[in-house]
Amino acid sequence: MLTLYDFMGSGNGYKVRLLLAQLGTPYKLVERDILKGETRTPEFLAKNPNGRIPTLELEDGTHLAESDAILWYLAEGTAFAPADRLQRAQTLQWMFFEQYSHEPHIAVARFWRHFFAKLSPAQELELPARMEKGYAALGVMEKHLARHQYFVGDRYGLADVALYAYTHVAPEGNFDLDHYPHTCAWLARVAAQPGHVSIDHKN
């Protein structure tokens, strides 16, 4: 059986838990508290030298890191991964967009505001730029979703799973989604997919 090392509050981890639930794939969940440094222990670094959750342990003991690489591995050959070459590349385009232009701003602002009682002076200083770049990412999504039901090929798939994870909790980082109606409608469409589970759902 697959083993998923994860932290329940993580959107990156949630991507994997959501896809596993929708695929109906059984797995063992092993929680690691990133707030207590449980992903930086020698035991965990032996699994993932970059010290991050989610990390997936395959049946043969191989460890796979990076949420979107794990999604790709799990989805190959299923309806969640497009069969078309261009659509596969477009799926990856949105997944890399998420990790580079979305997550470092929206997820980090949400992490600071949601998990810490008080921001540090350095965080206070950085926050306005993170908010601005987070809204820029939401703007790119909104523009796309004004013309499309989903991110790739007009059907629900990996790019939606990847972008849903931190977008739906953006308000926990004080992002106001009121001016992003197409994005809000897309969030509702994703949440209505068969087998959808919430971020705090445990298998």
Reference 12, options 49, 43, 45, 39; nearest CA is 39
Tokens of 41: 């222990």
Task: Write the interaction track for a copy of itself spanning residues 101-140; mark x where CB under 8 A is met and - where it is not.
Answer: x-xx-----------------------------------x
For the CB of residue 1, give the shortest distance to a copy of itself in the complex, in Å: 17
Closest CB to a copy of itself among residues 87, 193: 87
CA distance 168 to 199: 10
Q: ∠ CA 139-10-103 to the nearest 5 degrees?
A: 25
Is 79 near a copy of itself (CB under 8 A)?
no
Is 160 near a copy of itself (CB under 8 A)?
no
Helices (H), the chain: 11-23, 42-47, 67-75, 85-97, 108-115, 121-145, 158-167, 181-191
Is 57 near a copy of itself (CB under 8 A)?
no
- Tally of CB atoms within 10 A around 46: 9
Provide the residue type at 112 as one letter.
Answer: W
Provide the residue type at 117 as one letter.
Answer: A
For the CB of residue 140, give the shortest distance to a copy of itself in the complex, in Å: 5
The span of 27-35, 86-94, 169-177, 183-191 binding a copy of itself (CB under 8 A) equals 86-94
Binding-site ranges for a copy of itself (CB under 8 A): 49-50, 58, 62, 64-70, 72-73, 76, 85-86, 88-90, 92-93, 95-97, 99-101, 103-104, 140, 143-144
